[in-house]
Structure 1
Amino acid sequence: MTQFEARTATGTGRAVVSLAGECDLAVRDQFEAALTAAVRAAPEVLVDAAELRFLDSSGVHTLVMAHRAAQAEGRRLHLVNATGVVAHVLEVTGVADLLRPPGETGGNGRG
Protein backbone atom coordinates (compact mmCIF):
# COMPACT_ATOMS: atom_id res chain seq x y z
CA MET A 1 0.00 0.00 0.00
CA THR A 2 1.26 3.45 -0.93
CA GLN A 3 2.15 5.73 1.96
CA PHE A 4 0.95 9.23 1.19
CA GLU A 5 -0.23 12.18 3.20
CA ALA A 6 -1.53 15.60 2.20
CA ARG A 7 -1.88 17.96 5.17
CA THR A 8 -3.55 21.32 4.62
CA ALA A 9 -3.13 24.42 6.77
CA THR A 10 -5.18 27.48 5.90
CA GLY A 11 -4.21 30.99 6.92
CA THR A 12 -5.13 34.47 5.82
CA GLY A 13 -5.34 34.35 2.05
CA ARG A 14 -3.22 31.21 1.69
CA ALA A 15 -3.55 27.46 2.00
CA VAL A 16 -0.44 25.30 2.35
CA VAL A 17 -0.73 21.68 1.26
CA SER A 18 2.21 19.70 2.64
CA LEU A 19 2.84 16.42 0.84
CA ALA A 20 4.64 13.41 2.29
CA GLY A 21 5.44 9.93 1.02
CA GLU A 22 4.68 8.62 -2.45
CA CYS A 23 2.13 10.14 -4.81
CA ASP A 24 0.98 7.71 -7.47
CA LEU A 25 -2.19 6.42 -9.11
CA ALA A 26 -3.29 4.67 -5.90
CA VAL A 27 -3.66 8.01 -4.08
CA ARG A 28 -4.73 10.22 -6.99
CA ASP A 29 -8.26 10.76 -5.65
CA GLN A 30 -6.96 11.72 -2.19
CA PHE A 31 -4.41 14.10 -3.74
CA GLU A 32 -6.99 15.65 -6.05
CA ALA A 33 -9.45 16.16 -3.18
CA ALA A 34 -6.82 17.90 -1.05
CA LEU A 35 -5.81 20.27 -3.86
CA THR A 36 -9.40 20.99 -4.87
CA ALA A 37 -10.36 21.85 -1.29
CA ALA A 38 -7.30 24.08 -0.91
CA VAL A 39 -8.04 25.96 -4.15
CA ARG A 40 -11.60 26.56 -2.96
CA ALA A 41 -10.41 27.69 0.49
CA ALA A 42 -7.84 30.33 -0.43
CA PRO A 43 -6.80 32.61 -3.29
CA GLU A 44 -3.23 31.29 -3.09
CA VAL A 45 -2.25 27.64 -2.65
CA LEU A 46 1.30 26.65 -1.87
CA VAL A 47 2.08 22.96 -2.37
CA ASP A 48 5.07 21.99 -0.22
CA ALA A 49 6.80 18.89 -1.59
CA ALA A 50 9.64 18.81 0.95
CA GLU A 51 8.64 15.39 2.27
CA LEU A 52 7.45 13.90 -1.03
CA ARG A 53 9.70 11.02 -2.13
CA PHE A 54 7.96 9.96 -5.36
CA LEU A 55 5.63 11.51 -7.93
CA ASP A 56 4.31 9.69 -10.99
CA SER A 57 2.47 10.96 -14.06
CA SER A 58 -0.91 10.83 -12.32
CA GLY A 59 0.44 13.16 -9.63
CA VAL A 60 1.89 15.50 -12.24
CA HIS A 61 -1.46 15.49 -14.05
CA THR A 62 -3.29 16.28 -10.80
CA LEU A 63 -0.96 19.22 -10.11
CA VAL A 64 -1.49 20.64 -13.60
CA MET A 65 -5.26 20.24 -13.38
CA ALA A 66 -5.34 21.93 -9.96
CA HIS A 67 -3.22 24.77 -11.34
CA ARG A 68 -5.66 25.21 -14.24
CA ALA A 69 -8.65 25.10 -11.90
CA ALA A 70 -7.04 27.76 -9.70
CA GLN A 71 -6.36 29.97 -12.72
CA ALA A 72 -9.94 29.60 -13.93
CA GLU A 73 -11.09 30.95 -10.55
CA GLY A 74 -8.57 33.81 -10.54
CA ARG A 75 -6.48 32.02 -7.92
CA ARG A 76 -2.86 30.81 -7.84
CA LEU A 77 -1.23 27.46 -7.12
CA HIS A 78 2.54 27.11 -6.72
CA LEU A 79 4.84 24.26 -5.71
CA VAL A 80 7.99 24.59 -3.57
CA ASN A 81 10.69 22.46 -1.94
CA ALA A 82 10.74 19.58 -4.41
CA THR A 83 13.95 17.55 -4.18
CA GLY A 84 15.51 14.45 -5.70
CA VAL A 85 13.42 12.37 -8.10
CA VAL A 86 10.35 14.58 -7.53
CA ALA A 87 12.25 17.71 -8.58
CA HIS A 88 13.65 15.82 -11.58
CA VAL A 89 10.19 14.70 -12.76
CA LEU A 90 8.85 18.24 -12.40
CA GLU A 91 11.80 19.71 -14.29
CA VAL A 92 11.76 17.28 -17.24
CA THR A 93 8.01 17.65 -17.68
CA GLY A 94 8.16 21.46 -17.52
CA VAL A 95 5.78 21.50 -14.57
CA ALA A 96 8.45 22.99 -12.29
CA ASP A 97 8.41 26.15 -14.41
CA LEU A 98 4.62 26.18 -14.57
CA LEU A 99 4.23 25.98 -10.79
CA ARG A 100 7.27 28.01 -9.70
CA PRO A 101 6.32 30.92 -7.44
CA PRO A 102 6.96 34.40 -8.86
CA GLY A 103 10.46 35.61 -8.17
CA GLU A 104 11.95 32.12 -7.81
CA THR A 105 14.49 31.16 -10.43
CA GLY A 106 15.83 27.83 -11.76
CA GLY A 107 15.60 24.64 -9.76
CA ASN A 108 12.46 24.01 -7.79
CA GLY A 109 12.78 24.77 -4.12
CA ARG A 110 15.77 23.16 -2.43
CA GLY A 111 16.61 20.56 -4.99
Structure 2
Amino acid sequence: MTVDERTVRVDLGGELDALNTGAFMTAFHQVLATSDAALIEFDVNRLTFLDSAGVQALIECQTAACARGRRLALRDPMPIVHQVLTITGLLDDLGLR
Protein backbone atom coordinates (compact mmCIF):
# COMPACT_ATOMS: atom_id res chain seq x y z
CA MET A 1 0.00 0.00 0.00
CA THR A 2 1.24 3.45 -0.88
CA VAL A 3 -0.20 6.69 0.44
CA ASP A 4 0.12 10.32 -0.52
CA GLU A 5 -2.05 13.31 0.30
CA ARG A 6 -4.59 12.60 -2.44
CA THR A 7 -4.42 8.85 -3.12
CA VAL A 8 -4.14 5.57 -1.29
CA ARG A 9 -3.04 2.79 -3.62
CA VAL A 10 -3.67 -0.76 -2.44
CA ASP A 11 -2.04 -3.60 -4.37
CA LEU A 12 -4.27 -6.66 -4.70
CA GLY A 13 -2.97 -10.01 -5.85
CA GLY A 14 -4.03 -13.64 -5.91
CA GLU A 15 -7.70 -14.34 -5.42
CA LEU A 16 -10.54 -12.22 -4.06
CA ASP A 17 -13.18 -14.76 -3.19
CA ALA A 18 -15.44 -16.05 -0.43
CA LEU A 19 -12.45 -17.32 1.55
CA ASN A 20 -10.75 -13.96 1.97
CA THR A 21 -13.27 -11.14 1.50
CA GLY A 22 -13.68 -10.77 5.27
CA ALA A 23 -10.00 -9.97 5.75
CA PHE A 24 -10.06 -7.76 2.67
CA MET A 25 -13.02 -5.73 3.99
CA THR A 26 -11.38 -5.35 7.41
CA ALA A 27 -8.24 -3.99 5.75
CA PHE A 28 -10.29 -1.68 3.54
CA HIS A 29 -12.17 -0.20 6.50
CA GLN A 30 -8.82 0.41 8.22
CA VAL A 31 -7.73 2.39 5.17
CA LEU A 32 -10.93 4.43 5.31
CA ALA A 33 -10.45 5.12 9.00
CA THR A 34 -6.78 6.10 8.83
CA SER A 35 -6.51 8.11 5.63
CA ASP A 36 -8.15 11.27 4.37
CA ALA A 37 -7.16 10.65 0.74
CA ALA A 38 -9.86 11.54 -1.77
CA LEU A 39 -9.07 8.55 -4.01
CA ILE A 40 -8.65 4.94 -3.00
CA GLU A 41 -7.15 3.01 -5.86
CA PHE A 42 -6.96 -0.76 -6.03
CA ASP A 43 -4.11 -1.88 -8.27
CA VAL A 44 -5.49 -5.22 -9.44
CA ASN A 45 -2.84 -6.15 -11.98
CA ARG A 46 -1.92 -9.23 -9.93
CA LEU A 47 -5.49 -10.24 -9.04
CA THR A 48 -5.96 -13.57 -10.79
CA PHE A 49 -9.45 -14.55 -9.65
CA LEU A 50 -12.61 -12.70 -8.68
CA ASP A 51 -15.79 -14.53 -7.69
CA SER A 52 -19.22 -13.19 -6.73
CA ALA A 53 -18.12 -12.63 -3.12
CA GLY A 54 -15.18 -10.58 -4.40
CA VAL A 55 -17.46 -8.59 -6.68
CA GLN A 56 -19.79 -7.93 -3.74
CA ALA A 57 -16.83 -6.79 -1.64
CA LEU A 58 -15.78 -4.31 -4.33
CA ILE A 59 -19.34 -2.96 -4.49
CA GLU A 60 -19.35 -2.58 -0.70
CA CYS A 61 -16.01 -0.75 -0.87
CA GLN A 62 -17.41 1.60 -3.50
CA THR A 63 -20.49 2.29 -1.36
CA ALA A 64 -18.43 2.91 1.78
CA ALA A 65 -16.00 5.20 -0.05
CA CYS A 66 -18.83 7.23 -1.58
CA ALA A 67 -20.54 7.54 1.80
CA ARG A 68 -17.38 9.27 3.07
CA GLY A 69 -17.09 11.52 0.03
CA ARG A 70 -14.26 9.55 -1.55
CA ARG A 71 -13.78 7.83 -4.88
CA LEU A 72 -12.76 4.27 -5.56
CA ALA A 73 -10.92 3.21 -8.69
CA LEU A 74 -9.48 -0.02 -10.06
CA ARG A 75 -6.20 0.08 -11.94
CA ASP A 76 -4.81 -2.25 -14.57
CA PRO A 77 -7.02 -5.36 -14.20
CA MET A 78 -5.91 -8.73 -15.49
CA PRO A 79 -8.00 -9.94 -18.46
CA ILE A 80 -10.04 -12.36 -16.34
CA VAL A 81 -10.89 -9.65 -13.79
CA HIS A 82 -11.72 -7.23 -16.60
CA GLN A 83 -14.04 -9.87 -18.08
CA VAL A 84 -15.85 -10.46 -14.77
CA LEU A 85 -16.37 -6.73 -14.28
CA THR A 86 -17.60 -6.37 -17.86
CA ILE A 87 -20.06 -9.26 -17.54
CA THR A 88 -21.42 -7.90 -14.26
CA GLY A 89 -21.75 -4.40 -15.72
CA LEU A 90 -19.50 -2.94 -13.04
CA LEU A 91 -16.51 -1.93 -15.13
CA ASP A 92 -17.51 1.74 -15.38
CA ASP A 93 -19.14 1.90 -11.95
CA LEU A 94 -15.94 0.87 -10.22
CA GLY A 95 -13.88 3.58 -11.88
CA LEU A 96 -11.44 1.71 -14.06
CA ARG A 97 -8.18 3.62 -14.56
- TM-score, length-scaled by structure 1: 0.78
Q: Does 1:86 align with 2:90?
A: no
Computed over aligned residues only, the root mean square deviation of the Cα atoms, in angstroms, reads: 1.4
Measured in 2, the distance between the counterparts of 1:14 and 1:39 equals: 12
Q: Secondary structure at the match of 1:87?
A: helix
Q: Does 1:66 align with 2:61?
A: yes
After superposition, give the CA deviation of every residue in 1:66-94 in whole Å (9 maximum; x if it has no partner): 10111111111111111221110011111
* Matches for 1:1-111 after TM superposition, within 5 Å: 8-40=1-33, 41=35, 42-101=37-96
Aligned residues: 95
Q: Secondary structure at the match of 2:91?
A: helix
User: Which 5+ residue runs of structure 2 have no aligned equivalent?
Assistant: none
Which 4+ residue blocks in structure 1 deviate beyond 3 angstroms? none
User: Which 5+ residue runs of structure 1 have no aligned equivalent?
Assistant: 1-7, 102-108
Q: Which has the higher contact order (CA 8 A, sep 6+)?
A: 2
**Any conservation in 2 of the 1:79–1:100 contact (CA below 8 Å)?**
yes
Q: Secondary structure at the match of 2:2?
A: strand
**Any conservation in 2 of the 1:47–1:80 contact (CA below 8 Å)?**
yes
Q: Percent identity?
A: 34
- TM-score, length-scaled by structure 2: 0.89
Q: Offset of 1:38 from its aligned partner?
A: 2.4
